[in-house]
A and B are shown apart, each in its own frame.
Chain A
Amino acid sequence: MEFALFLGCNIPNRLPHIELAVRKVLPEFGVELKDLDGFGCCPDPIGIQALSHEAWATLAARNITVAEQAGLDILTLCMGCFETLKTINYEIKHDPELKEKINSHLSKIGREIKGTIKVVGILELLYRDIGIEQIKSKVIRPLNGLKVAAHYGCHALKPHYIIQFDDPSMPKSLDELIDATGAKSMPYLNKHLCCGTGISGINEKAQLSMIRAKFSEIVRTNLDCIVTLCPLCYIQLEMGQMLVNREFGDNFKIPVFHYAELLALAMGIDEKELGFKLHRVKVQPALEIISKKE
C-alpha cells in the first residue's frame, strides 16, 4: 500500500513525536508513505468552513490535486484534515456544480480537481486495510495489564453518511485496535464525549468542563491512560488536563498516548526511540505498568 502522507499542521509543527511513531510503525505493515511537495493547511473544518464553504472547499481541493498529480491516495493522520479532505472529495463526486465552481478557482493557479483518488484516515487504514490479525501478528511485547480509556475523536466517525466507517453510535475499531496490543480498552462514562476543540477560544469554560467531565470518569474508573488517534483531541486532552487543574484545582495527570505510540511499544520498539520526552503529561506511570507485567 502506497499513500501520499498528508501531515496537516498540528502533527509536524506541534506534535512531532506522533509523526515519529507513525513513521516507525506503518512501514512494518507494508505501508509506504510518500512525502509530496505542495500540501498546505487542509483547511480547518470548523473555523474556515463556517466562514466560507466555498473557500474551504477550494483550498481542500487544491491539496487533493497535489495527490492526484502523483496518482496516489491520501493518508491523513489528523481527524480534522480527514473530515475536510474526505468531505470535499465526497462533495466533488456528488455535486458537479460545486466541482465546476472549485475548478474555475483552481484554474487561476493552473490546477484542476478530477476526483480520481481516495482519502483514507489512519483509523480506517489500521482497522479496515491492515486489520486486527495483521496487527496482532506484529505484537512481540504485549502491553498486558494496561487499562486504557479509548477516545475516538468525533471526526473519525461522523458524519457517517460521508465517512461510512464503523458505527458512530457504538464504535469498536479503536477498542479492538487497543486490545490487539495486549492492553485492555475499558468502558467508562463520557467515553464518547467530544474533546471540545471546536469551542476552544470561543467558550473556554465549557470546553474545560468537557475535559473535566471526561477525566473525572477516567480517574473514577481507575484507568491508566487515554489513547486517541486525533492530534487535536490529543492536544485538548493533554493541555486540557493542565488547564483544568489550574482552573478547578484538580490534580489530573493521566498519560495521553497516540495509538501509534502504544502500538510501537507493543511491537517492541524501545521507548527511548519514541518521543515520550515531548509529552506534557508524564507517561512514566503507564510505562511502569507495562514493564512490571512483562
Chain B
Amino acid sequence: MVRQISSEFRNEIMEIKHVGVTLSYCYQCGTCSGGCPSFRFTGTFNPRRIIEDVLLGFKEELLRDPIIWCCCVCHECLEHCPQGVLVSELLMKIRELATKYDNIPDNFRAEVETLVNTGQINPKNPAVDRRRVSLGLKEAPAAPVEEIKKLIEITGLINFLPEKKEVE
C-alpha cells in the first residue's frame, strides 16, 4: 500500500496556538514513550510514533486510527520531554482533528448525550440521594440543564451525540 503524505499536516498542527509550535522542537528521542503508562500496558499506543507521523505527514492514516484515543492524559510525557514539547496537549489536538474523520469512541459520544440531558456526566440519581440523606447530607444539586444545553448547541458539541442506529 502506498502511504498518503500530506505536506501541510505539520503546518496545520504548528499553527495551533501555544501548543502547536512545540511540535518542531521534537527530536524523536522517545522519552515520552518511555514514561507513558499507556505504551507500557498497550504496547501499541506510542506517543513518539504519533508525533513522527505528524512530522512525516501521514495525516489521514493517523487521524483515522482509533489508537490515538488510548492516551490516559496523565501528562507524564509533557513533564519529561527534554525539549519542552507539549506532547499530551498535542495529542489532545490530534484527537480533536480526528473527530472530522468520524474517529470518535462511543463512550465519549455517550458522555455528550448524558451532558445534554442532565448537565452532568455522572448525573444525580434517587438511590444515591437517599444514601446522602441517610448520611446527613442534603440531596445532590441539579445542574442548570437549559443553559448547558444551549452552550452545547452553540459550540457544536451537539454534533457528537451518539449516531442514530438504523431501525431494521
How many interface residues does chain A have, given as a range? 35 or more
Report B-chain residues with C-beta under 8 Å of the C-beta of A38: 144, 147
Contact string against A for B residues 109-150, beta-carbon threshold 8 Å, 1 for contact and 0 otherwise: 001100100011111110010011001111011011101101
Query: Given A12-B141, A16-B135, A20-B136, do A48 and B112 touch, yes or no (CB 8 Å)?
Result: yes
From B69, B71, B148, contact of A59 by CB (8 A): B148
Whether the Cβ atoms of A51 and B96 lie closer than 8 Å is: yes
Query: Given A158-B78, A194-B72, do A40 and B119 touch, yes or no (CB 8 Å)?
Result: yes
Asked if A49 lies at the interface with its beta carbon under 8 angstroms from chain B, I say yes
From B37, B78, B95, contact of A210 by CB (8 A): B37
Q: Which of B95-109 contact A (CB under 8 A)?
A: 95-96, 99, 104-105, 107-108
From A40, A51, A106, A207, contact of B108 by CB (8 A): A51
C-alpha spacing A12/B132, complex, angstroms = 8
Whether the Cβ atoms of B141 and A196 lie closer than 8 Å is: no
C-alpha spacing A234/B78, complex, angstroms = 24
Whether the Cβ atoms of B122 and A48 lie closer than 8 Å is: no
Contact string against A for B residues 20-45, beta-carbon threshold 8 Å, 1 for contact and 0 otherwise: 00000000000000000110011001
CB distance from A194 to the nearest CB of B (A): 4
Report B-chain residues with C-beta under 8 Å of the C-beta of A58: 151, 154-155
Residue of chain B at shortest CB distance from A190: B37
C-alpha spacing A16/B88, complex, angstroms = 32
Choose the segment among A131-139, A198-206, A219-227, A260-268 that binds chain B (4+ C-beta atoms closer than 8 Å): A198-206
Whether the Cβ atoms of A40 and B41 lie closer than 8 Å is: no
Whether the Cβ atoms of A158 and B123 lie closer than 8 Å is: no
Asked if B17 lies at the interface with its beta carbon under 8 angstroms from chain A, I say yes
Whether the Cβ atoms of A62 and B147 lie closer than 8 Å is: yes
Asked if B157 lies at the interface with its beta carbon under 8 angstroms from chain A, I say yes
Q: Total A-B pairs in contact (CB under 8 Å)?
A: 184
Asked if A95 lies at the interface with its beta carbon under 8 angstroms from chain B, I say yes
Report A-chain residues with C-beta under 8 Å of the C-beta of B89: 159
Residue of chain B at shortest CB distance from A213: B41
Whether the Cβ atoms of B112 and A105 lie closer than 8 Å is: no
Whether the Cβ atoms of A196 and B137 lie closer than 8 Å is: no
CB distance from A90 to the nearest CB of B (A): 11
C-alpha spacing A53/B156, complex, angstroms = 11
Report B-chain residues with C-beta under 8 Å of the C-beta of A159: 75, 78-79, 86, 88-89
CB distance from B70 to the nearest CB of A (A): 5
Query: Given A13-B140, A54-B156, do A59 and B151 touch, yes or no (CB 8 Å)?
Result: yes
Report B-chain residues with C-beta under 8 Å of the C-beta of A17: 135
Whether the Cβ atoms of B73 and A45 lie closer than 8 Å is: yes
CB within 8 Å of A: which residues of B?
17-18, 37-38, 41-42, 45, 69-76, 78-80, 86, 88-89, 92-93, 95-96, 99, 104-105, 107-108, 111-112, 115, 119-125, 128, 131-132, 135-138, 140-141, 143-145, 147-148, 150-152, 154-157, 160
Known contacts A10-B122, A194-B74; can you find 18 more A-B pairs with CB under 8 A? A40-B119, A43-B115, A50-B95, A51-B108, A52-B160, A58-B155, A98-B17, A108-B151, A154-B76, A159-B79, A159-B86, A169-B79, A196-B37, A198-B73, A201-B105, A203-B42, A206-B42, A210-B41
Closest 6 interchain pairs by CB? A201-B107, A198-B72, A55-B157, A40-B143, A158-B75, A55-B155
CB within 8 Å of B: which residues of A?
7, 9-10, 12-14, 16-17, 19-20, 23, 35, 37-41, 43-55, 58-59, 62, 95, 97-98, 105-106, 108-109, 154-155, 158-160, 168-169, 193-194, 196-199, 201-203, 206-207, 209-210, 213, 275, 278
